[in-house]
Amino acid sequence: MANRVFNFNAGPATLPLSVLEKIQQEMLDYRGTGMSIMESSHRAPEFDQINDDTITLVKELLGLDDSYHVLFLGGGASTQFAMLPMNFLPDGKTAAYVDTGAWSSKAIKEAKGLGTVEVVASSKESNFDQIPDLSDIKLDSKAAYLHLTSNNTIFGTQYQSFPDTGNTPLICDMSSDIASRKHDFTKFSMIYAGAQKNLGPSGVTLVLIRDDLLKTGKEDIPIIFRYGTHADKKSLYNTPPCFPIYVLNLVLHWIKDQGGLAAVEKINRAKMERLYQMMDLNPDYFRGTVKTDSRSWMNVTMRLPNEELEKKFIAEAKEAGMVGLKGHRSVGGIRASIYNAFPREGVDHLVAFMEKFKAAN
């Protein structure tokens, strides 16, 4: 595939080539049905098989038992910012949030419109260059839940471990690092993630909810916004995003075929170590923007000596077959998003380019 670039886009992001080829192969005639899966009914047996298989795969890869409901919803992760407090923030309770910038700030803003919110920790004062220390976090008995954002896609920070919250449900937006490494996912009462970074195309949001939390969901909200509605019907209460779910299924198989999260973690670790090592050897030229112990494995952010050089870097990288390296408009600089599907060779290609660029400039 000579005309494929190394795609560092932050999301939607690169997909495994083998998955794209499989989609291409099955596009016109999905496994002998004489139609694309896009044209199939969501009530048809072939879609039901995909739906069931995807639920099973998610649980298997993340190590979750049947106490978890696996939902495939529309509206992106941003819709979860609202649906979560609508369902699980009753009057008289407080929702606790940790603010690590951008996405968590949006989640907080949405929750504030729906109930009482307390920001229990924040790294705002240092412009979100780190994950706040939560080792001795104290939660009020009135806390309905604690909400975290495991990886900040824009600032390039990531939790390396998660706090213990006792009986308070721990809820996490894992949009930009889900299934990228092993964790004890049973710590979480709820996890949600837009698929378009690590799991597939945009259009489907994966939502995992443990049954004990689900049962506490409020009933005085519209039917369509209740998690219970979707859990009762295996996400088939209304037409789900069928095609994105199909691609999600193929991506999960791709992860499983490599050996699951342990294998993917190993590859992701090597990729990010290679890149940070290059930066650490040239700290005055490729200046990391976050504290070392908060570094993201998924979104590597850096500044060059000046903005002129950053522009040149991005333009010349493009000529060398690498796109999507421009930092988010709110922070500038360079951002290399190296999600699950981003190949190791692409990281090596970037590091070699960085060396050459520095020597020439």
Ligand X SMILES: *Cc1c(COP(=O)(O)O)cnc(C)c1O
Of the candidates 174, 175, 192, the residue with the CA atom closest to the CA atom of residue 183:
174
What phi, psi does 28 have (nearest 5°)?
-90, -30
If the CB atoms of residues 11 and 163 are measured against ligand X, the closer one turns out to be: 11
76 binds ligand X (CB under 6 A): yes
Cα–Cα dist 350/297, whole Å: 16
The residues, any chain, with a CB within 8 Å of residue 221's CB and separated by 6 or more, are 86, 87
Which residue is associated with the tokens 């002998």? 32
DSSP 87-105: HH--TT-EEEEEE-STHHH
Binding string, residues 157-176; x marks residues near ligand X by CB under 6 A: ----------------x-xx
CB of 66 vs ligand X, minimal distance in Å: 27
244 binds ligand X (CB under 6 A): no
**Distances in whole angstroms, Cα of residue 184 to Cα of each of 30, 91, 164:** 36, 31, 11
Burial of 123 (0-12, 13-18, 19+ CB in 10 A): buried
If the CB atoms of residues 11 and 244 are measured against ligand X, the closer one turns out to be: 11
Are the CB atoms for 194 and 75 separated by under 8 Å?
no
If the CB atoms of residues 181 and 304 are measured against ligand X, the closer one turns out to be: 181
If the CB atoms of residues 197 and 295 are measured against ligand X, the closer one turns out to be: 197
The secondary structure element, H or E, covering residue 282 is none
14 binds ligand X (CB under 6 A): no
By annotation, the residues acting in catalysis are 103, 173, 197
Q: Which residue of 77, 117, 171, 334 would you call a contact of ligand X, by CB under 6 A?
A: 77
CB of 20 vs ligand X, minimal distance in Å: 20
7 binds ligand X (CB under 6 A): no
Q: Which stretch binds ligand X (CB under 6 A): 1-9, 72-80, 253-261, 267-275?
A: 72-80
Q: Which residue of 30, 103, 185, 339 would you call a contact of ligand X, by CB under 6 A?
A: 103
Which phi-psi region, left, alpha or beta, contains residue 34 (left: φ > 0; alpha: ψ -120 to 50)? left
11 binds ligand X (CB under 6 A): yes
Q: Give the count of residues interacting with ligand X (CB under 6 A).
A: 12
78 binds ligand X (CB under 6 A): yes
| Nearest residue to ligand X on Cβ basis | 76
CB of 358 vs ligand X, minimal distance in Å: 30
CB of 50 vs ligand X, minimal distance in Å: 21
Q: Which residue of 149, 157, 168, 198 would you call a contact of ligand X, by CB under 6 A?
A: 149
CB of 156 vs ligand X, minimal distance in Å: 11
**Order of all β-strands in the sheet with 170-173:** 68-73, 205-210, 190-194, 170-173, 143-149, 94-99, 116-122
What phi, psi does 126 have (nearest 5°)?
-105, 30
Are the CB atoms for 333 and 301 separated by under 8 Å?
yes
Residue 135 has a CB neighbour count (10 Å cut-off) of 8
If the CB atoms of residues 94 and 153 are measured against ligand X, the closer one turns out to be: 153
Are the CB atoms for 143 and 89 separated by under 8 Å?
no
Q: Which stretch binds ligand X (CB under 6 A): 24-32, 75-83, 118-126, 258-266?
A: 75-83
194 binds ligand X (CB under 6 A): yes
296 binds ligand X (CB under 6 A): no
Residues that bind ligand X (CB under 6 A): 11, 76-78, 103, 149, 153, 173, 175-176, 194, 197
